[in-house]
Amino acid sequence: MTMFSPKTNVQKKTPGPTKTNKKIGCLFSDYPGDTAAPSVPHTNLSTVKTPTPVCCFQYSGDGKQILCGLGDRSVLLYKSSLTGSPAVYTGHDKPVSSVDWSHSRQWWLSASEDRTLRIWPTGSPEPAVTMGGDEKFSKPIRGAQFYYLDKFLLLASGPSLHLYLYHLDNTRDDIKRYRQRSTIKLTRCLETKSGTDITAVSAINDFYSYIVLVCGADRSIQVLDMNTGTVASQLPDAHSRAVHHITQNKTLITD
């Protein structure tokens, strides 16, 4: 299955006028290029009354909202200013290990140590689809995200990276209210070169990319080529301990 074919006849565009940063409310549409990276804490917020670890978090693509997956099995949705009360989403039976926004920002997902994944319509208190469980995954989900401009889902469990095609349908029959109309189909399953369990995953969803980075319990970082379904490169002993998070620069280079 070829997912990506590079364009070799792309013509360079004539540079247009320099864009200025437009401020929308308290947010800039573009980060000022002459401004240093943030270094001073602005807000210190306790998510819940009792001490609970924040296992994962992610900003929405427009920077206006932030998802926080907690150790108490819930997901909190904040405004990026961290003001006001967050929306609370529950349903998982164990700590939430991964959260992710779709590129369209119409959906977001949560994955948990209970080996399930849920996809939520933005603004809905109920998920459109729930998949997984002990019968589907032998080990907890360590990473899950939308991929390839929302065309696929990526999910890591044990040494395996699962690639799913999906169709989301949020309509429900009042009589058969709990019947899911959404469908998810496994299209490919890749394993790490050494067979080590995956501890973290990174793939770009903002544009078409066939590169996926996975980190292993053996402290390695492996580069997967989703076009060929192979491990293109491997960096052994990348850290002194297993990597728990990895990310990629989402800047698209067109030249």
Confidence at residue 40, expressed as pLDDT on a 0 to 100 scale: 81
In a domain, residue 34? The reply is no
pTM of the predicted model as reported, rounded to 2 decimal places: 0.83
Confidence at residue 169, expressed as pLDDT on a 0 to 100 scale: 84
Confidence at residue 76, expressed as pLDDT on a 0 to 100 scale: 96
In a domain, residue 253? The reply is no
130's tokens: 């729930």
In a domain, residue 36? The reply is no
In a domain, residue 250? The reply is no
In a domain, residue 32? The reply is no
Please state the rounded mean pLDDT for residues 236-247: 94
In a domain, residue 90? The reply is yes
Tell me the CATH number at 227. Answer: 2.130.10.10
In a domain, residue 167? The reply is yes
Q: What is the total count of domains within the chain?
A: 1
First to last CA, the chain: 27
- Reported as a pLDDT band with limits 50, 70 and 90, residue 164 is very high
Q: Give me the domain span that covers residue 77.
A: 51-171+178-235
**Comparing 14 with 57, which gets the higher pLDDT?**
57
In a domain, residue 107? The reply is yes
